[in-house]
Amino acid sequence: MPILEDAKRAGERITGWGRPKRRDLPDFTRSRKPHLFRFEDDGETPNNPHWPMVLYRSPVALTSGCDPAAILEDLFAKNGWTDSWRDGIYDFLHFHTHTHEVLGIARGAARVQFGGAKGRMLDLKAGDVVVQPAGTGHRRLKASRDFLVVGAYPATSGKYDEPKPSQIDHAKAVASIAKVRLPRADPVYGKDGPLLNVWKKHR
């Protein structure tokens, strides 16, 4: 799927086919309450000591007139979350120690476990968006055949990594996660979106 989606994205960028106009991006968003999830360090998966994971249920209208992945990519990029990719979610537990990550569900549905081996299982569907603070453990448990995710990272990110708990010194991971800065904007709603208020409140 990644190779086909990469080719599709390249064609869209050259031709403009299937991509929303930048001025229309706000029209794709819908006001949604942020659902917050706090995960403690379990000794293997560090999670984040300060900031909760944020789940928005269907904050993005994925219309038939545009490629849903393109809508998510362009919306995230407009709000400063870039280096996007199209793929699924790994089926092994991993996390990121230098960056926050947004996951937008472009197609299909999946059950994903967040927070490590003792974390929370959530069912996600097309249009949902998850914002994970650095350190949040995650893995795919099951997914539909057409499941497609758009991921992206804020401009304040450090070097990308994706270690499993057994692949990194836990104390070093915790220290690195603590250094990751706040993003400049909510990936869906921009500078005035709920994310920054929520994370500043839990700082």
Count, residues in the chain: 203
User: Per-10-residue mean pLDDT for the chain, 203 residues long?
Assistant: 72 75 91 97 96 98 89 97 97 98 98 96 98 98 98 93 96 97 97 95 79
Q: Do residues 72 and 56 make contact, with C-beta atoms less than 8 angstroms apart?
A: no
What's the CA gap between 130 and 161, in Å, rounded? 19
Residue ranges of domains in the chain: 2-201
Element spanning 35, H or E: strand 35-37
What's the CA gap between 199 and 50, in Å, rounded? 8
Backbone φ and ψ for 199, nearest 5 degrees, come out as: -70, -35
What's the CA gap between 190 and 175, in Å, rounded? 28
pLDDT at 12: 73
What's the CA gap between 109 and 148, in Å, rounded? 8
Q: How many CB atoms lie within 10 A of CB 18?
A: 17
pLDDT at 1: 62
Give this prediction's pTM: 0.93
Q: Do residues 41 and 119 make contact, with C-beta atoms less than 8 angstroms apart?
A: no
The CATH number of domain 2-201 is 2.60.120: yes
Q: Do residues 27 and 112 make contact, with C-beta atoms less than 8 angstroms apart?
A: no
What's the CA gap between 55 and 181, in Å, rounded? 20
